[in-house]
Amino acid sequence: MRSAARTAVVLALLGVAACGTDAAEQEGEELAVFASFYPLQYVAEEIGGDAVAVTNLTPPGSDPHHLELAPATVQQLDGAPMVVYLSGFQPAVDEAIAATNPERVVDATAAADVHGADPHFWLDPLRLADVADHVAAALAQADGSQGADYEQGARELRQRLEALDADFRSELAQCRGAVLVSTHESYGYLAMRYDLQQVGIAGIDTEAEPSPARLREVGQIIEAEGVRTLFYDDPAAARVVESLAEEFGVTAAHLDPLEKQLDPTRDYAEVMTDNLAVLSAGLNCDG
């Protein structure tokens, strides 16, 4: 019912907004780009530089999984020069795009080869680089005068992301096969890229609480695999992880899933580098 009501509001709103100002005009010479959550904002800003004005549809500090869009925000998407999103991740964004008419829409799903229930493709730097190529192509279509600059921005971003991937490969080379125990199963793409085994304490659902039976299962894995550190993705979930870590005499550490920018002074690449240090220190890499 909530979904149907929201779509009805969107359609009614659009019916009275025909005379609204074009999104591109609102930003002057800058190309207006809407990104549905932080990693896609990062890509658009890195590629577009001063030629684009990127709006993150997920407000600072908000959980992108449970995003709700205000009618005024939805209205901005109608006729917007470009929207970058991940279909299936944020239902409110899917509905808003379906109910409006952006000039260009970039869906990261195909570019990043997203599959299964885990949306966190951006924790694999090479998948994010693939998305960047698609974003650059769409920007060049939207603003041909800057096309060469967008292509150059994408090449430079890919180089940085490939260098980040090389750092992960080098630092985690001795950790292949190590078990990564985390609050939720948010690190599947990272684990796949770097040959780790992910074990989620509470599954993929960010609102799920682990059952006593599941906690016993995880405890058995901790002991059998010589796990040294348990990772929590959300500081709000630290209590459960810290309690379990104390019970089994291991440590707990924060591993940022980068769904949102927790610190506005640190960007994607810097946080991923922080994550690498946390993983390197916390995983059992003796084998």
**How many Cβ atoms sit within 10 Å of the Cβ of residue 203?**
14
Whether residue 157 is predicted with pLDDT greater than 50 in this model: the reply is yes
Instruction: Please tell me the pTM assigned to this model.
Output: 0.89
> Which phi and psi (to 5°) does residue 174 adopt?
-85, 0
Examine the domain organization and report whether 213 and 117 are in the same domain: no
**Domain ends where: 118, 138, 168?**
168
Whether residue 201 is predicted with pLDDT greater than 70 in this model: the reply is yes
Whether residue 20 is predicted with pLDDT greater than 60 in this model: the reply is no
Mean pLDDT, the chain, integer: 90
Q: Which of 109-123, 231-245, 259-273 has the lowest mean pLDDT?
A: 231-245
- For residue 116, being part of any structural domain is answered with yes
Examine the domain organization and report whether 227 and 148 are in the same domain: no
User: What pLDDT is stored for residue 243 in this prediction?
Assistant: 93
Examine the domain organization and report whether 22 and 145 are in the same domain: yes
Q: How far apart are the C-alpha atoms of 167 and 242, rounded to whole Å?
A: 29
- For residue 214, being part of any structural domain is answered with yes
User: What pLDDT is stored for residue 27 in this prediction?
Assistant: 40
Q: Sign of torsion, CA 41 276 244 197?
A: positive
Say which CATH number the domain at 185 has. 3.40.50.1980
Mean pLDDT value across residues 166-183: 96
Examine the domain organization and report whether 203 and 253 are in the same domain: yes
- For residue 261, being part of any structural domain is answered with yes
For the record, the structure tokens of 99 come out as 């109910």
> What would the pLDDT profile of 122-144 be if each residue is shown by its tens digit?
999 999 999 999 999 999 999 99
- For residue 287, being part of any structural domain is answered with no
User: What pLDDT is stored for residue 122 in this prediction?
Assistant: 98
Q: How far apart are the C-alpha atoms of 153 and 43, rounded to whole Å?
A: 10
- For residue 10, being part of any structural domain is answered with yes
Residue labelled with tokens 């992301």 = 161
- For residue 85, being part of any structural domain is answered with yes
Largest CA distance in the chain: 65
CA atoms within a 13 Å half-sphere pointing along the CA-CB vector of 57: 34
> What are the start-end ranges of the E strands in 46-172?
52-56, 82-85, 105-107
Mean pLDDT value across residues 149-153: 97
SS3 219: helix
Examine the domain organization and report whether 8 and 135 are in the same domain: yes
SS3 180: strand
User: What pLDDT is stored for residue 21 in this prediction?
Assistant: 35
For the record, the structure tokens of 144 come out as 């041909």
Looking at per-residue pLDDT, the higher value among 236 and 31 belongs to: 31
Examine the domain organization and report whether 145 and 12 are in the same domain: yes
Q: How far apart are the C-alpha atoms of 43 and 269, rounded to whole Å?
A: 11
CA distances from 52 to 16, 118, 156, 186, 224 (A): 28, 30, 17, 30, 51
Examine the domain organization and report whether 160 and 189 are in the same domain: no
Instruction: Give residue 89's domain range.
Output: 2-168
- For residue 218, being part of any structural domain is answered with yes
Domain count, the chain: 2
Examine the domain organization and report whether 220 and 278 are in the same domain: yes
Examine the domain organization and report whether 156 and 81 are in the same domain: yes
> Which phi and psi (to 5°) does residue 25 adopt?
-65, -30
Whether residue 3 is predicted with pLDDT greater than 60 in this model: the reply is no
**Domain ends where: 168, 185, 208?**
168
| Cβ(200)–Cβ(211) below 8 Å | no
Examine the domain organization and report whether 119 and 188 are in the same domain: no
Kind of pairing between the strands at 105-107 and 82-85? parallel
Examine the domain organization and report whether 163 and 38 are in the same domain: yes
Percent of the chain with pLDDT over 70: 90
**Domain ends where: 125, 153, 168?**
168
> What would the pLDDT profile of 80-99 be if each residue is shown by its tens digit?
999 999 999 999 999 999 99
Q: How far apart are the C-alpha atoms of 181 and 228, rounded to whole Å?
A: 10
- For residue 200, being part of any structural domain is answered with yes
Examine the domain organization and report whether 8 and 30 are in the same domain: yes
User: What pLDDT is stored for residue 285 in this prediction?
Assistant: 84
User: What pLDDT is stored for residue 240 in this prediction?
Assistant: 87
Kind of pairing between the strands at 52-56 and 82-85? unpaired
pLDDT band of 287, cuts 50, 70, 90: low
> Which phi and psi (to 5°) does residue 90 adopt?
-125, 95
